[in-house]
Amino acid sequence: MPIDDSNHADELRAEGLAELKLGHYRRARRTLEKALAAKPGSKRLQHDLGKVHLAAGQPAAALAELDQIPDAVSHSEIMWKDRALAQLLLGDPAEALACAERSLKIKPRYVAAHVLKARAQQALGDGTAALATLDAVARGKPDRELLYRRGKLLHAMGRYNDALQDFDAILTRRPRDLAALEAKGLAHDQLDEPGAAAEALQQSLEAEDEVVYNDRGVALSRLGYNHRAIESYRRALAANPRYATCWFNLGKALFRVGNLKEALQAFTRATELNPKNRSAWNNRGVTLRQLNRIEETIPCYERAIELKEDYAWAWHNKGYALELLDRPREALKCYQNTLAHESGHEHHDGSEWGRLMEDTNKAIVRIELILEN
């Protein structure tokens, strides 16, 4: 029987994408090539390689990978969007526009494709059409990239006050967004407002963007560099102490290095700032268990289950805590609920889900034997 290398390929893919996020393009390419060797013919891995080449400023190499992917693959709108970017970087805005249109034909509300369509239209000299493209999808709460691109387009069209509105909208959400601060400074400069321009540009030199440092920490942690990840998370939180997601990520990294007391503090802060983060509640309970504060874990798991009734991991952890508290009948019911909520595993890979099922089945057998005696 041939060896199943799918898990190995998935692990390599995760490692390669983490290297990509850190800007380590050669390492990312080598790692993804190893993943492709373990899983030949994977269109997803070929697409990932294309993304690495794009990030490294090698659009021709990116197209060479993307052109090998058939149109019928799932989420092909992403592939066409990336082809549009490659064509734009190669200096062919007409072809970029055609690729962006192909992407939008598949997924009409795909914001990233609209942004690339607008960039292609602008490169073709049609700023009015580009602005109309962005305005068409700027309803509600437009994402950061759309606001930034529209702001830059408005700046290029000489509409500096309108551009400032978009840059300020970004900075309302991310006060230390370096690119937005720089763009804001340049817009103020064009409006002959040297004081405001100098202030924005100085902020861009001094600011540390918490989102960047959080994302960097996630990538470092995925690669196993948890101590470096912790440093990155702390820099993000120094810039924004109310960054709930970063507190959660910090807690996970601290837990991995065995710093349980600080991990508990981080998970507690994460749940205070975002009481709807079920994973933070679950991890808070797990950390309390590791600190032998078993009774305190139950409310954490119950809160996680309130937020997601089919949260299988929380059901299992609650069952284990009840088992440790010598409450076998309640524990058995929790373990049975774990098995009943297989739909809760969508965010975990197959091997992790398999381990949970194995542990749960063993626990049920163990408790049934206890109850029989």
Claim to verify: residue 315 and residue 351 sit in the same structural domain: yes
Claim to verify: residue 157 and residue 270 sit in the same structural domain: no
Domain total of the chain: 2
pLDDT band at 1 (very low <50, low <70, confident <90, very high): very low
For the whole model, what pTM was predicted?
0.74
Claim to verify: residue 161 and residue 308 sit in the same structural domain: no
Residue 14 has pLDDT above 50, yes or no: yes
Q: Look at residue 86 and tell me if it is in a domain.
A: no
Q: Look at residue 120 and tell me if it is in a domain.
A: no
Q: Look at residue 128 and tell me if it is in a domain.
A: no
Q: What angle do CA 64, 65, 71 make, to 5 degrees?
A: 105
What is the signed CA dihedral for 334, 335, 337, 340, rounded to 10 degrees?
Answer: 180
- pLDDT score of 363: 87
Higher per-residue confidence, 14 vs 6: 14
Of 207, 242, 262, the residue that ends a domain is 207
Claim to verify: residue 309 and residue 162 sit in the same structural domain: no
**C-alpha span between 194 and 267 (Å, rounded):** 44
Which class for 30: exposed (0-12), middle (13-18), buried (19 or more C-beta within 10 A)?
A: middle
Q: Which domain holds residue 200?
A: 138-207
Claim to verify: residue 187 and residue 300 sit in the same structural domain: no
Q: Look at residue 93 and tell me if it is in a domain.
A: no
Of 148, 180, 207, the residue that ends a domain is 207
- CATH number of 170's domain: 1.25.40.10
Query: Tens digit of pLDDT for each residue in 233-245?
Result: 999 999 889 999 9
Claim to verify: residue 162 and residue 302 sit in the same structural domain: no
Of 207, 236, 254, the residue that ends a domain is 207
Q: Look at residue 67 and tell me if it is in a domain.
A: no
**C-alpha span between 46 and 79 (Å, rounded):** 10
Residue 318 has pLDDT above 90, yes or no: yes
